[in-house]
Amino acid sequence: MSLSALLTLTLVKVDVPGGGCCPFHDMAAFYAEIDPADAFWQEDILPIEKWPDSEELRPLAGETNFRTVRKLTFGGQNAEAYFSTDGKNIVWQTKQENFPDEQIFTMTADGKNRRLVSTGLGRTTCSYFSPDKKWIYFSSTHTKNQGAQRRLDMSKGYVWMVNPEFSLYRVPARGGKPEQILDKNQYVAETTISPDGKHMYFTGGWEGDLHIYRSRLDGKNLERLTDLPGYNGGPFISWDSKKVVYRRSPLWKTEEERTEWYNLFREHLVRPSRMDLWIMDSNGKNSRQVTNIPGANFAPFLHPDGKRIIFSSNHHDPRGRQFELFIVNTDGTGLKRVTYGNEFDSFPMFSRDGKYLIWSSNRAGKVARETNVFVAEWKD
């Protein structure tokens, strides 16, 4: 289906069309004011095997932290791209017309050797390399539903699905059959792995709220790290394996808000009308709020210096539809804008040496709202 044929929907206006690790398609669809099930399909999309390796672009005006910018994907929806610990490989999720839904691919950091590592069935999300690069972890629905994720009920306004069909898998990085690591018959996704190889961190929905957990890389020794009710999610572990940054929504102000949250959650939905950044020790202790600004502040990642957090936010846009990257000190001071794409920039990650930033953006697309993966050479 071409973009011109997409059905434009009238949605309930909310303050924040934010997103996070897994509900990327839902967020982007709201941004475009279209049904997520139909989002961003384009005719004659170039097959991945015919993509060029990369394309060099100029940083946009105002992007003073970028020496160079290089585009690594070329069509469809590409997001949540993350470096291996040595910075030589990238894993990401993409929605292409020959698959029922988003799938996991890898490539080298220069855009070469792109390869499917998920099954090609169901919906996948939130992929991450193990520190030794032997495994790729991701969540998938393929054993419970080999088709696309079901359509959202748009009459409820802007919501994300926390899909209970997701289970956590790992697959050999060189290819092979996925091995199921964790299944709770509830949402299990948003996995990241500590560089020391001791723990993986993820979001789960099996205890009545959305909480952040950690376990060994085999799924054993499971621990819950968050206590506040409601929405805690999107954990990212620092390069020194000592801190976790994440997003959460404020506590409810009224009983009506609380009731609405749990009513939606029983339908495996959440309404992310406000999110801020939080930080805690890797064992869940000493959690504290970092940002207190309007809108959706999400997809945080700690700079290797451990003093700054890069993240995506729409707090600067009165309409709440323009997402840019910002960087802030861990004490909430020194907020600075990083990108000036004026559409959608999100899912940032620094390489371990701090020399490169990878992220997803709508810039330089073939069609409107196409999302691709970019790498910038970083300068302070």
pLDDT tens for 347-373 read 999 999 999 999 999 999 988 889 999
Would the pLDDT of 112 be above 80?
Answer: yes
Going along the chain from its start, the domains and CATH numbers come out as 3-54+73-318 (2.120.10.30)
Whole-angstrom Cα distance, residue 108 to residue 326?
27
Phi-psi region of 330 (alpha: psi -120 to 50; beta: other; left: phi over 0): alpha
pLDDT in tens, 172-196: 999 999 999 999 999 999 999 999 9
Which pLDDT band holds residue 32 (cuts at 50, 70, 90)?
A: very low
To the nearest 10°, report the CA torsion of 23, 149, 101, 44.
-100
Which pLDDT band holds residue 27 (cuts at 50, 70, 90)?
A: low
Which pLDDT band holds residue 12 (cuts at 50, 70, 90)?
A: very low
Would the pLDDT of 166 be above 90?
Answer: yes
Predicted confidence at residue 246, as pLDDT, reads 98
Predicted confidence at residue 321, as pLDDT, reads 85
To the nearest 10°, report the CA torsion of 236, 318, 62, 361.
50
Would the pLDDT of 8 be above 60?
Answer: no
Quick one: how far is CA 116 from the chain centroid? 19
Mean pLDDT for the stretch of residues 100-121: 97
Predicted confidence at residue 13, as pLDDT, reads 31
Predicted confidence at residue 20, as pLDDT, reads 36
Would the pLDDT of 4 be above 60?
Answer: no
Would the pLDDT of 377 be above 70?
Answer: yes
Would the pLDDT of 18 be above 50?
Answer: no
Predicted confidence at residue 1, as pLDDT, reads 24
Taking all residues of the chain, what is their mean pLDDT, rounded to a whole number? 89
pLDDT in tens, 218-249: 999 999 999 999 999 999 999 999 999 999 99
**Between 156 and 115, residue with greater pLDDT:** 115
Predicted confidence at residue 86, as pLDDT, reads 98
β-pair partners for 214? 201, 223
Mean pLDDT for the stretch of residues 61-68: 98
Most confident of 156-165, 211-220, 270-279: 211-220
Q: Is the dihedral of CA 39, 231, 164, 117 positive or negative?
A: positive
Would the pLDDT of 30 be above 60?
Answer: no
pLDDT in tens, 294-305: 999 999 999 999
Mean pLDDT for the stretch of residues 298-318: 96
Would the pLDDT of 9 be above 50?
Answer: no
Mean pLDDT for the stretch of residues 307-321: 93
SS (H, E, C) the chain: CCHHHCCECCCCCCCCCCCCCCCHHHHHHHHHCECHHHCCCCCCCCCHHHCCCCEEECCCCCCCCEEEEEECCCCCEEEEEEECCCCCEEEEEEECCCCCCCEEEEEECCCCCCEECCCCCCCEEEEEECCCCCEEEEEECCCCCCCCCCCCCHHHCCCEECCCCCEEEEEECCCCCCEEEECCCCCEEEEEECCCCCCEEEEECCCCCEEEEEECCCCCCCEECCCCCCEEEEEEECCCCCEEEEEECCCCCCHHHHHHHHHHHHCCEECCCCEEEEEEECCCCCCEECCCCCCEEEEEEECCCCCEEEEEECCCCCCCCCEEEEEEECCCCCCEECCCCCCEEEEEEECCCCCEEEEEECCCCCCCCCEEEEEEEECC
Predicted confidence at residue 24, as pLDDT, reads 53
Would the pLDDT of 256 be above 60?
Answer: yes
